[in-house]
Structure 1
Amino acid sequence: MPDATDNTPQSALLGHIADQLRRLRASRGLSASALARQAGIAKSTLTQLELGRGNPGIETLWALASTLGVPFAELITAAPADVAIVRAGQGTTTEDEQATMQATLIDTAWSGRRQSLYRLHLAAGAVHVSQAHLPATIEHLYVISGRLSAGPQDQPVVLAPGDYMRYAGDGAHVYQAHETDAEALLIMTYD
């Protein structure tokens, strides 16, 4: 299992997540037990993450980010540079706990509202239900390939390549790939 002491990209990500979690938890005056309880995760999971160990899924990181009141992107990336170039296949990738969906953070931006840009990959037939994000979060989804259903959990819409959809991300929402893998770009805007 990678940890923050080796030099792989995964260990660098784990090291950054560990630093961010410790910093954010301390700035809010929370104990590890309190943060874990509020996020609905095991204290041992949080302890391992703060040590730069483990393999956190998207769900765990979203729960921590929500509880800490920060965007998901703040846990997995450093402050943006003046110029950012992300080559094909690069970015910070996390996946859900069933390994059926990957989200690759491509960039974040601040222009009145903060924005995060992700490339999503869903395996054929995969269903990913996302819990509510921070209040006033809006998701913008553009399908690159494959067919998928997405949007509010109670009103998903079937989308094909080239289709775009905007919906509130501060309620439960879903992504479901149909008969083949699906790729999409997701822009999240939040305060």
Structure 2
Amino acid sequence: MSESLMQNITPIGLLSAAIRRERERLNLSVTELAKRAGIAKSTLSQLEAGSGNPSLETLWALAMALDVPVSRLISQPSRQVQVIRAHEGTAAVSEQGNYAATLLATCPPGAQRDIYRLRVQPGEVKLSRPHPPGTVEHVIISSGRARLGPADQPQVLSAGDYISYSADREHVFEALEPETTAVMLIEQG
């Protein structure tokens, strides 16, 4: 899928297509899926039509009824480099309103993940050699600012921002402020 086409897909459009795809995969009618999920048929029809604003509980109920992780219903198509700023992403909000979850990345089947907490000071750029083929790094900046990503395409991120990129090529991390901290997840499949 082209980058420009991916940018035109709305979160509700992705959700709509995913619900329909998974419902049809199981050969379920709208009525049957609504019953299994414990939601109104009209709610499900609205979601499949690309309208509505489902609560986190509705998403979980649909995922359970479809026997898929919630991430399969709301994840974006994969990209070579993906940046999600702290204020971006589609949050699924709980019916109580005090809890929101924003999916940043899904784990492909058979993948292995390691999670690291980073503390980096300004100075020399950390240049990392390529990891094994298929390795992806996911980084969330906790505090400070950093320039990171593929060596030929680094991005500047601030606290709360997220990036993922192929780490099977040279990649860099450079703190732009003292005491920059981050969480890094390395995924190998």
Task: Report the TM-score, using the length of structure 2 for normalisation.
Answer: 0.51
Alpha-carbon distance in structure 1 between the residues aligned to 2:47 and 2:97: 19
Alpha-carbon distance in structure 1 between the residues aligned to 2:70 and 2:108: 14
- Deviation, 1:111, is 5.9
* Matched residues, number: 109
Gaps in structure 1 of 5+ consecutive residues: 1-8, 116-143, 145-184
Assess, with a 3 A threshold, how the Cα gap between structure 1 residues 50 and 114 changes in structure 2: closer, same or farther. Answer: farther
- Deviation, 1:109, is 2.7
Corresponding residue for 1:58? 56
How large is the RMSD of aligned CA atoms in angstroms?
2.6
Within the candidate set 87, 106, 109, 1:108 is matched to: 106
Alpha-carbon distance in structure 1 between the residues aligned to 2:86 and 2:109: 25
Alpha-carbon distance in structure 2 between the residues aligned to 1:114 and 1:12: 30
Deviations 1:73-97, CA, capped at 9 Å, x for gaps: 1111133223322222222211012
Gaps in structure 2 of 5+ consecutive residues: 1-6, 114-141, 143-182
Alpha-carbon distance in structure 2 between the residues aligned to 1:101 and 1:36: 24
- Deviation, 1:113, is 4.8
Assess, with a 3 A threshold, how the Cα gap between structure 1 residues 114 and 84 changes in structure 2: closer, same or farther. Answer: farther
| Pair member with larger Rg | 2
Corresponding residue for 2:16? 18
Corresponding residue for 2:25? 27
Deviations 1:59-82, CA, capped at 9 Å, x for gaps: 001110111111101111133223
Runs of 4+ in 1 over 6 A off after TM superposition: none
Within the candidate set 46, 68, 92, 1:48 is matched to: 46
Assess, with a 3 A threshold, how the Cα gap between structure 1 residues 14 and 111 changes in structure 2: closer, same or farther. Answer: closer
Corresponding residue for 1:85? 83
* Helix, strand or coil at the partner of 1:36: helix
Task: Report the TM-score, using the length of structure 1 for normalisation.
Answer: 0.51
Deviations 1:147-180, CA, capped at 9 Å, x for gaps: xxxxxxxxxxxxxxxxxxxxxxxxxxxxxxxxxx
- Deviation, 1:52, is 1.0
